[in-house]
Structure 1
Amino acid sequence: MTIATRRAQARALFDAGVAAADPVAATTRALVQSPVPATLIIAVGKAARGMAQAAMAACPNVPCLIVTNDENAAPLAGAQVMAAGHPVPDERGARAADMVIAALEGVGAGDHVLVLVSGGGSALLPAPVQGVSLADKAAMNNLLLASGADIMQMNLVRQQLSRLKGGGLLRIAAPASVTALILSDVMGDDLRAVASGPTAAPLGTKAQACNILQSFDIWEKCPRSVRDHLSGVDTATDIPRADNHLIGANPISLRAMAALVPDAHVIADPIEGDVAAAARVICDAAAPGITLWGGETTVHLRGTGRGGRNQELALRIALEARARGWTAGWVCLQGGTDGRDGPTDAAGGLVDSGTLGRIDNVAALLANNDSYAALEQAGDLLITGATGTNVADLGVLIRP
């Protein structure tokens, strides 16, 4: 089998994983199994438009507000589609959040709100608490993204700075009934963390948020308004009840990939943590044949380059393979299921045994967090375009 054939096979497996998280199909199945008498539909996240399309077919003539990222913000008849900034919140997201809050404040005891939640919703729907500006919240997002904190830690902090996150949406919608269909991009599928849990209890307290920021040595870099708010007294954590349903997740997509190659080795535990350590874990597990995994790693930003966790992980796997003296002919794909890795147009990287030979000074590029430039030089960027879904990251390694 040639490298070109293996690269095509890796891409086909990744595409199967993305297809298994199709938001239209997942939402349709959920509403067929458990119909919802919706009087208002709120959809937020990278998969919001697809989920809303299915919900509107099941609940015709119901008002629908959609907040999603630019790549997925195509018009949808009968719905109001709003694009917002991701991964850093912007004014468009703040205006969209105001419109969502106004719609929720207009429902009553006889109403039923159908909330469609997917990854990315945390940044897309910023509604800062009183005293914290949008600029301060955007600054916090940048600090968190560069800190090396994992998604649970970041979302715990974000919840404490938002009127909608950590069950805030439920408080605003009360006393209306709320059903949420959730497409998870979080390892372990803790619904409190997906889009920072608008229909779930908060992950923690202000004090815990302070501890996280201090542990990553960014507390003093936080805006004063944020430090003042997090240093205050915690509010009650009780929230109204919601009927939450998980309809798509990383393990589901991983199983769909594995179904295509029954003899593949599937890494059981999600691949998480620092990308350098993650590369070693993957290569330790990868015997000859096909190895599959899912997860969501972190990158500690030290340089000024462009890239993302998937691009950097792909390069670090190439470095590990070379250090281990692997036989020529191996191929590895590492990609984000949303089609966008960091602030770039790439989903990740598709590398092989010849990748490093096509890059000038890969060590310097990685030291500057410039994985995009390195993979672009090698011709190994994974470009998929926006997929309309988001269930974290998937990986494929094929060894002869």
Structure 2
Amino acid sequence: MPDLRQLARTLFDAAVAAADPALALRRAFADHPPPQATGRTILIAVGKAAPAMLAEAMALCPGADTAIAVTHHENPAEVPGAQVLRAGHPVPDEAGAAAARAVIEALKACGPGDRVIALISGGGSALLPAPAPGLTLADKAAVNRALLAAGLDIVQMNLVRQQLSQLKGGGMLRLAAPATVTAYILSDVIGDDLRAIASGPTVGPIGTRAEARALLRDAGLWDDLPLKVRAHLSDDTPAAPVPEAVNHLIGSNRQSLEAMARAAAQAGLATRIVSDRLTGDVADAARVVLAELAPVAEPTALLFGGETTVNLTGTGMGGRNQELALRVALDAPGIGNDWVFLSGGTDGRDGPTEAAGGLVDGATAERIAAAGQDAKALLADNDSHAALDAAGDLLITGATGTNVADVQALLIRP
């Protein structure tokens, strides 16, 4: 059997490969081809997988009249014959606002007989900031930072984001009318709620402004938001209806977990997907993982998928996957077996760092101490990146060009 750390990385790579956006889109076009157009064809790709999805769509729909991809700054991919725009993630920036204006202009130019093929993947919410009238990019960025720091889950964050945007929560459909819209969606949201993926540009909104206000008040964020944001959310004028669209889900976290399970079984491990709902606070998620860390009689792979949250109280740097891996390493019981634990974002990036996550084992805490670092103090400062870096336990993959949330593998050998 290969080294457990190498095997954990092999399983992670299998998860990423299962979410390959080009292959997923090719399969979806074969099963659910977009309608024919009597007018123009407009291809709009938004998200961390946007370039790969757009390149495949252009091959499947030759002669498109407009082709735009909006992805994150760390994705260097180009698409011949298309406009590739890059933007900030997870905090929106002016480049994203400019990209949003380009998308809005392309959609506004649509007429009867035209077709829009929307290619949606994770990250699209931050990448395409189009502030509602009366709001600025700075207003939206302030809200986004507050939502991230509060540890809200993706559905809660997107409930608020949709109410502040021209494109989210079905806004793309309103702008494109009367053209037909067909969307192919790669999910980074646990449970695959299409309203939450990239804040649902091709589906109806998650909720109302009143519900967004209630959420922000319950989270203790309302009073600290910009005055213009509070005024906008306090206006309960009914929104314009959202036109119909056809939406196809083409990839998900669960599909990637199943690919990991197949790879683990092929390597000779007893395999079980423990949970595809590893969500909520990262400390609680660590306890779920630790509850599975027990002696085994045969090599075993225990798999998890989801997207946790971190309630920021310190000033350090890291991300939810790095913090989860560090917590497991520091609190792991002695079980008399070899073990490793990997937690990684399938997009290749965890928080504002170059790492996808962490890959730890029973000696991680010792390596951190040997490097002269205090692991518990670093954890208390939300500085999981520094702790794992000291141990040589950062998971570095580079941008993967896809995103189906996070995956975890706990490998145990007698």
Fold conserved between structures, TM > 0.5: yes
Structure-2 separation of matches of 1:203 and 1:145: 18
For residue 286 of structure 2, the aligned residue among 279, 284, 289 is: 279
Matched, 1:332 2:341: yes
Match of 2:331 in 1: 320
State which drifts further: 239-248 or 34-43: 34-43
- Once the two structures are TM-superposed, the CA of residue 232 in structure 1 deviates from its matched residue by 1.1
Q: Deviations over 1:132-156 (max 9, x none)?
A: 1101101111111100110000000
Structure 2 distance, partners of 1:31, 1:234, is 39
**Contact 2:253–2:276, Cα closer than 8 Å, also in 1:** no
Question: How much does 1:269 deviate?
Answer: 4.0
| Equivalent-residue separation in structure 2 for 1:339 and 1:370 (angstroms) | 19
SS at match of 1:86: coil
How far apart are residue 34 of structure 1 and its match? 2.4
Q: Which runs of 4+ in 1 moved over 6 A?
A: none
Q: Name the SS for the 2:249 alignment partner.
A: strand
- Which among 296, 299, 316 is matched to residue 305 of structure 1? 316
Counterpart Cα distance in 2 of 1:370 and 1:13: 26
Deviation at 1:320, TM superposition (A): 2.5
Candidates 267, 283, 297, aligned match of 2:274: 267
Q: Which moved more, 1:135-144 or 1:384-393?
A: 135-144
Mark the runs of 5 or more structure 2 residues left unpaired by the alignment. none
Cα distance, 1:216 vs. partner?
Answer: 1.4
The residue number in structure 2 matching 1:351 is 360
CA distance in 2 between partners of 1:283 and 1:265 (Å): 15
Specify whether residues 60 and 235 from structure 1 end up closer, same or farther in structure 2 by C-alpha distance, changes over 3 A only. same
Q: Check if 1:245 corresponds to 2:256.
A: no
Indicate the residue corresponding to 1:140 in structure 2. Answer: 143
SS in structure 2 at match of 1:83: strand
Match 1:60 to one of 58, 62, 71: 62
- Give me the whole-angstrom Cα distance separating, in 2, the residues matched to 1:382 and 1:235: 46
Deviation of 1:237 after TM superposition, in Å, equals: 6.2
Aligned-residue offset at 1:56: 0.3
Identify the match of residue 365 of structure 1 among 351, 365, 378. 378
TM-score for both structures, normalised by structure 2: 0.94
Contact 2:254 2:276 in 1 (8 A): no
Equivalenced residue count is 396
- 3-state SS of the aligned residue for 1:163? coil
Match of 2:49 in 1: 47
Distance change in 2, residues 1:76/1:278 (3 Å):
same
Of 307, 320, 325, which residue of structure 2 is paired with 1:296?
A: 307
Give the aligned residue type for 1:41.
L
What is aligned with 1:76?
Answer: 79
User: Residue 377 in 1 paired to residue 380 in 2?
Assistant: no
AA aligned opposite 1:117: I
Residue 327 of structure 1 deviates from its aligned partner by: 2.5
Residue 99 of structure 1 aligns to a residue whose secondary structure is helix
| Pairwise CA distance, 1:212 | 1.2
Map of 1:216 onto structure 2: 219
Q: Tell me, what secondary structure is at the counterpart of 2:86?
A: strand
Deviation track 1:315-336 (CA, whole Å, cap 9, x = no partner) reads 1111231xx3232521010000
State the partner residue of 1:202.
205
Q: Distance in 2 between matches of 1:318 and 1:75?
A: 39
CA RMSD of aligned residues (A): 1.2
- Distance in 2 separating the partners of 1:173 and 1:331: 49
Partner SS, residue 275 of structure 2: coil
* CA deviation string 1:119-178 (max 9, x = no partner): 000000000001111011011111111001100000000000000000010000011000
Q: Deviations over 1:7-26 (max 9, x none)?
A: 00000001000000000101
The answer to whether the 8 A contact 1:205-1:234 is kept is no
Please give the residue correspondences for 1:57-136 in structure 2 after superposition, counting only pairs within 5 Å: 57-62=59-64, 63-136=66-139
1:149 corresponds to which residue? 152
Name 2:403's counterpart in structure 1: 390
**Residues 206, 234 of structure 1: 8 Å contact kept:** no
| 1:356 alignment partner AA | A
What is the rounded CA distance, in whole Å, between the counterparts of 2:293 and 2:271 in structure 1?
10
How much has 1:378 moved relative to structure 2?
0.5
**Distance in 2 separating the partners of 1:22 and 1:75:** 17
Q: TM-score, normalised by structure 1?
A: 0.97
